[in-house]
Amino acid sequence: MNIKLYLISALFFLCPFIFFGQVAAINAAVEDEIIKQDIPGVAIGVIKDGKLYYARGYGYKDKDKQVAVSSFTSMRWASISKPLTAVAALKLAETYNSFDINDKVTEHIDYWTPFNIGWKSKVRIRHLLSNRSGINHYGGGTEKDENGNVIKKYNNNSSNTYVSDADDFNAESAVSIFKGPNLDFYPGTKYLYSSYGFNLLGAVIDEVSPNGYPAWVKKHIADELGMSSLKIGTGSFTGVQKACDGVMNNKTIGNVEWKLPSGGWQSNVRDLAKFAIGIMNETLLNDTSVLWTDVPGNGSYGYGIGHVGNPASDFFRLSHNGAHDNVRTDMHFYPNKGIGVVVMIPSNYGDASRIRKRVYTAIGLDWGSDKTPKDACTSTMKSCEGKFAGVWRKTNKDVIIRRGYSHSNFAKEWQKLRNKGYYCDDFEPSFKNGKLVWDGVFKQGPGGNPMWRGYDQTGFNAKWKEMSGKGYRLIDLETYVINGQRKWAGLFRPGNGAYALIRNYSTAGFAQKRAEFAGKGMKLIDIEVYNSGGQQKWSGVWVAGQDGLLNRNYSTQGFHDLWQQRLDQGYRLIDIEAYEISGNQRWAGIWEKSNQGEYLNRNHSFCSIMDKHTNYSKNGYELIDIERYGHNVAAKSQLLAEDTSDVEVADSFEGLTTIDKPSFEVYPNPTKGMVTVYLDHPENAIINIYNMSGKKILSKASNIGSIDLSRYPTGIYVVQVIQKGKEMKKKVVLQ
């Protein structure tokens, strides 16, 4: 075989492998961001060599996980509608000599201002394109007189006065929403990002073009690029938002036709990518570079799009993003490299730019994106009710936090995170608007994690004995009241040695039992305190180990002083409980011997405690326990009369937690080389590893610990475990 033929053959076999390897890396990065940002789903489009390289949807549009996201799911562009309108305006200027971007608006429409005097009459098309018109942006305008003196603040973000027209866009009605106030400044003198300015630009296009603004966009952009899904955002669109205490809720927004030129277009992610490709390949305009005109005083914003770098450089890039109350979008590309990424998230808190950076990294353009969980409140979130307390320990590990999931949705999220190598270490029931909701703290690691909820006292006791007999130990016990009936829930992890569970003990009786179990070599790891029949009751969980300290019924200040004392004595908290006695706040805690650093914060709002958590996490402190309390959210003693049929059914989750056969984990995944294959019960197991061609490349006994794959090509491999005649498989990505 000659060398040329050999290289062609090698490239033929290598390219698919490189493609699938990059796709696997993209998928792993995006799926990790869904977890780290707690977003329901996302759609992405990846551009390479000036073409659509890969497009996919992940997850769901809604909090109940009913509507899946695909690459064909239509979502609103939000402010990426602005560069679309900018291209339409520049195309109009290239087509007709009677229209130029230096024209005044009043040369083409007469309803913007009735007078040919004053600042408004000085607004030109290029001012609208570059956000230098002086027209306010909804929620941020100031009305001034002709001398520049502020008359009043202006806040208008309403579509109530808009009346749709037969051609699907009533330009004059759209302009009437914002044409009343004076300008913020003389046109051309300052930069002020303005959606209303682009709505006025769309109105001009509507007047000048032969068949109106929507028809002009369709003919010269959508049809030109094959964007068959591009449409006006009429009807309604449902995504999710976190408006209160970090709880995810569906959010539906109706017709946004009133702001079509600035934020009202929508399509699937494939067609959003096609629009980026159209700009990148310069197929829409004779002179595409007009878009990135360097406007003095504008920073990186040109004519309808952001630009960074030297236009002749390979690292020159163009971008625009968008935001509605239930969507986030991002369009970013390197026109000279032919590379780009577009992102659409059906939520108001997702960080689309972070996902884009991680996708770039997956295809070889390293942006060094943050990969830590995104827990802090965004500008669209607020604290609402209840108080929060937290304990952090210096472990250099991080956790995933979930807030306010319904009973069934928490089970779905638990399953998703289990499939990605996480286990639930702590959960907490509470009530939100009269409905039972669940918070959870998840950690990354191998091993099973059975979760059982909704049991009465007898039923839970039987389940606890069953799990214990199968090599699991109870790590977190919770109780709550539904329709006057006390229910029990628990989380389990693999373990061995002595164990114990007691419930419904008095304060004194609990202390006696604790002393008894300590003498048998068991340590207390979890407590529950609640009122039953007007009496304070205690429950506790023990496992094998050296018992620590337990302190109960302390006031807020008293517990703080005690915590400081315990730190000096070399003890650290592993569990805290907040409760009330005769209307007074009380605290209890379990301590163990440790010299690790620790933080304790209490009486914080949700956003405040998340700010604390974010700062501590950055410095290597792991959230050990989080407690939500307050009479409006308490679940342990709550009496409700509501339909909670899903709660009354015990959570069996067969098939989600494989208790009857050994479960196994492969981590880290993706990996740079070293990978661990973990089995709960490794006896008599054989581990085989295959490449995607089906060739076995390794075969080892189960007690080998880590496996080194670094000498093999990057790509996807299959890990097979054979034990007791049963076969289990997982895929691992080698980067």
301-305, 603-607, 728-732: lowest mean pLDDT where? 728-732
Q: Residues 167-189: pLDDT tens digits?
A: 679 999 999 988 888 898 999 99
pLDDT tens digits, one per residue of 527-560: 999 988 888 999 999 999 999 999 999 999 999 9
Q: What is the pTM of this model?
A: 0.84
CATH architecture for residues 664-734: Sandwich (2.60)
In sequence order, which residues have a C-beta less than 8 Å from that of residue 125 and are 6 or more positions away? 89, 93, 100, 101, 102, 103, 104, 105, 201, 204
Confidence band for 53, pLDDT divided at 50, 70 and 90: very high
Residue 651: per-residue pLDDT = 30
In this prediction, residue 701 has a pLDDT band, given cuts at 50, 70 and 90, of confident
DSSP summary character for residue 347: B
The pLDDT, as a whole number, for residue 708 is: 85
pLDDT interval class at 631 (50, 70, 90): low
User: Percent of the chain having pLDDT more than 70?
Assistant: 88
Q: Where in the chain is the domain with CATH 2.60.40.3080?
A: 664-734
Which residues belong to CATH 3.40.710.10 in the chain? 78-304
Question: Which residues are 238's β-sheet partners?
Answer: 252
Name which residue leads in pLDDT, 277 or 152: 277
Tell me 218's DSSP state.
Answer: I
* pLDDT(567) > 50: yes
3-state secondary structure of 458: helix
| Measured distance CA(423)–CA(440) in Å, rounded | 10
CA distance 319 to 300: 10
Beta carbons within 8 Å of 546's beta carbon, 6+ residues apart: 523, 593
Supply angle C-alpha 117, 121, 126, rounded to 5: 155
Question: % helix / strand / coil in the chain, to the nearest 5?
Answer: 30, 35, 35
Please report which confidence band the pLDDT of residue 354 belongs to, taking 50, 70 and 90 as the band edges. Answer: very high
- Model confidence at 159, in pLDDT bands (50, 70, 90)? low
Q: What is the pLDDT of residues 646-686, one digit of tens each?
A: 222 223 222 222 223 345 677 778 888 888 776 655 667 88
What is the mean predicted confidence (pLDDT) over 724-731?
Answer: 81
Query: Residues with Cβ < 8 Å from 12, sequence gap 6 or more?
Result: none
Q: What is the pLDDT of residue 293?
A: 96
* Reported CATH class of domain 78-304: alpha beta
- CA dist., res. 106 & res. 125, Å (int): 10
Instruction: Render pLDDT for 228-253 as a digit per residue (tens, 0 to 9).
Output: 999 999 999 999 999 899 999 999 99
What is the per-residue pLDDT for 162? 86
3-state SS, residue 567: helix
Residue 36 has pLDDT above 90, yes or no: yes
The answer to whether residues 54 and 38 touch, using CB atoms and an 8 Å cutoff, is: no
Which pLDDT value is given to residue 282?
97
Give me the mean pLDDT over the 626-647 stretch: 51
Sheet holding 422-432, edge to edge: 400-406, 435-444, 422-432
User: How far does Cα 454 stand from its chain's mean position?
Assistant: 29
For 101-138, write each residue's pLDDT tens digit: 999 999 999 999 977 788 999 999 999 999 999 999 87
* Secondary structure (3-state) at 535: strand
